Amino acid sequence: MSESTPLEPACPLGDEHPGPPSPHARLTQSQLATLVPELLLSGQLIDRSGMAHLISAFGREIMTRVAIEEWMAASPVYTHRMRSALGIDGDTVEDMFKCLQLDIGAPPQFMDFRYEITDPHHGAFVLDHCGALMDVEPLGDEYVTAMCHDIEDPTFDATAIATNRRARIRPIHRPPRVPADRTPHCAWTVTIEPDRPELPLPEDAEHVFTLAAAQVALSPIDGRATDGYTDYRGPLHQDLQFRDWSAGALTRIAEEVALQHQLLALGFQLSLRRYAQSEEQAVEIFRKQLTGIAGLSADRLQAALDLSGDADSLAQVLALHPVLGPVQYTGVQVAVDGDEVVLRIPADSPAQEDGGWITLLTVDHIEPLQAAATAVDPYLTATAEESADGLVIRFSRGEQAHEESGEVAIVRFSSGSNFHFADRGPSVALSITPVGR
Boundaries of every domain in the chain: 26-259, 279-418
pLDDT, mean of residues 45-66: 97
Q: What is the mean pLDDT of residues 39-53?
A: 97
pLDDT confidence of residue 1? 47
Q: Would the pLDDT of 435 be above 80? A: no
> Percent of the chain having pLDDT more than 90?
91
Q: Is 113 left (phi over 0), alpha (psi -120 to 50) or beta?
A: beta
CB 246 within 8 A of CB 221: yes
Dihedral sign computed on CA atoms, order 30, 250, 325, 77: negative
Instruction: List Cβ neighbours of 372 (8 Å cut-off, separation of 6 or more).
Output: 294, 295, 297, 298, 317, 318, 321
Predicted pLDDT of residue 406: 98
**pLDDT over 50 at 179, yes or no:** yes
Q: What is the mean pLDDT of the chain?
A: 94
Q: Decide: 189 and 170 in contact? Cβ < 8 Å.
A: yes
pLDDT, position 434: 58
Distance separating alpha carbons of residues 263 and 75, to the nearest angstrom: 8
Distance CA 236, CA 431 (A): 8
pLDDT tens across 89-138, in order? Answer: 999 999 999 999 999 999 999 999 999 999 999 999 999 999 999 999 99
- CB–CB of 418/139 below 8 Å? no
pLDDT in tens, 127-178: 999 999 999 999 999 999 999 999 999 999 999 999 999 999 999 999 999 9
Q: Are 182 and 127 in contact (CB under 8 A)?
A: no
Whether 12 shows a pLDDT value over 60: the answer reads no
Sign of CA dihedral 162, 167, 173, 175: positive
* pLDDT value at residue 229: 97
pLDDT in tens, 306-335: 999 999 999 999 999 999 999 999 999 999
Q: What's residue 10's pLDDT?
A: 44
Question: What pTM value is reported for the model?
Answer: 0.95
Q: What pLDDT band is residue 13 in, cutting at 50, 70 and 90?
A: low
What percent of the chain has a predicted confidence (pLDDT) above 70? 95
Per-residue model confidence (pLDDT) at position 18: 52
> What confidence category does residue 428 fall into, taking pLDDT thresholds of 50, 70 and 90?
confident
Give the pLDDT confidence score for residue 436 in this predicted structure. Answer: 46
